[in-house]
Amino acid sequence: MSNTVLIIGPSGSGKSSSMRNLDPTTTFVLSVLDKPLPFKSYKKNYIPIKGWDDTTGNYYASDDWIRILKCIEMVNKNRPEITTLVIDDMQYVLANEFIRRCSEKSFDKYNELANHYWQIINAANSCRSDLITFFFSHNEVDNTGRSKIKTIGKLLDEKITIEGMFTTVLNTAVIDGKYQFITQNDGFNTTKSPYGMFDDNAIDNDLNIVIEKLTEYFN
């Protein structure tokens, strides 16, 4: 199974900028919002694909869950040179579909939204073992004061628990002006990582560091 990592944090806390040092020749970015990436020369390094048979592009934008599944399948099967897949920002897969369907009065839409989200995570978890997939998502604070992944409806929280589908969950933080990833749970968030994977409770927000630690630990 593929290594999948969930990175949670508020807007502007360093999720997207953590891609800045990735090698574009081995990285594919699946952008849900198609917003500019927050680092220099991203347009030169991340070229939109022109179709599912395109083996030169490394960027695709869509918030449609079916197209996202198709893109994950394409990267997994047809792009063996890609070893890092980034899905930014996963939360809007739920939010955008919810807004488009807000006039529907039936509660069935919440079940369908949850199912679409669940299918995307399962698809990434089922990819080849050399592919690391990063899911970026916003956070929210629940009624106990704990920071968790932001969702819509109760099914994903009560019946599935999204963080439980990942072995590694990192939270973003800005500490003394430095953008960092928190690697261990402090009792007020859903951060988790395998015992001994990271030496420190806070590391630079650099996906290359996370990839290095994952590779060393599991291999």
pLDDT band at 97 (very low <50, low <70, confident <90, very high): confident
Does residue 15 register a pLDDT over 80?
yes
Give the C-alpha separation, 24 to 218, whole Å.
23
Q: In 3D, which of 85, 81, 84 has the Cα closest to residue 69?
A: 85
Strands 168-175, 178-182: pairing kind: antiparallel
Average pLDDT of span 193-206 = 95
What's the mean pLDDT when you consider all of the chain?
92
E strand spans, 62-111: 84-88
Residue 53's pLDDT is what? 94
Strands 84-88, 27-31: pairing kind: parallel
Alpha-carbon dihedral of residues 62, 134, 16, 21, nearest 10 degrees? -120
Is residue 87 a contact partner of residue 68, using CB atoms and an 8 Å limit? yes
6 DSSP β-pair partners? 135, 169
Q: In 3D, which of 38, 15, 14 has the Cα closest to residue 179?
A: 14
Tokens (6 digits) for 185:
């749970």
Tokens (6 digits) for 121:
């995570």
Residue 33's pLDDT is what? 93
For residue 88, the SS3 value is strand
27 DSSP β-pair partners? 84
Distances (CA, A) of 171 to 66, 113, 200: 28, 24, 14
Residue 1's pLDDT is what? 72
Residue 212's pLDDT is what? 96
Number of other CB atoms surrounding residue 40 within 10 Å: 9
Q: In 3D, which of 112, 86, 97 has the Cα closest to residue 63?
A: 97
125-172 per-position pLDDT tens digit: 999 999 999 999 999 888 888 899 988 877 777 777 899 999 999 999
Of the options 1.10.3720, 3.40.50, 3.30.70, 3.90.920, the CATH number for the domain spanning 3-218: 3.40.50
Distances (CA, A) of 73 to 60, 135, 149: 13, 16, 25
Phi–psi pair at 204, nearest 5 degrees: -60, 150
149 DSSP β-pair partners? 139
20-38 per-position pLDDT tens digit: 999 999 999 999 999 989 8
103-113 per-position pLDDT tens digit: 888 888 888 99
Among 19-33, 49-63, 142-156, 179-193, where is mean pLDDT lowest?
142-156
Domain range summary for the chain, segments of one domain joined by +: 3-218
Tokens (6 digits) for 160:
């599935």
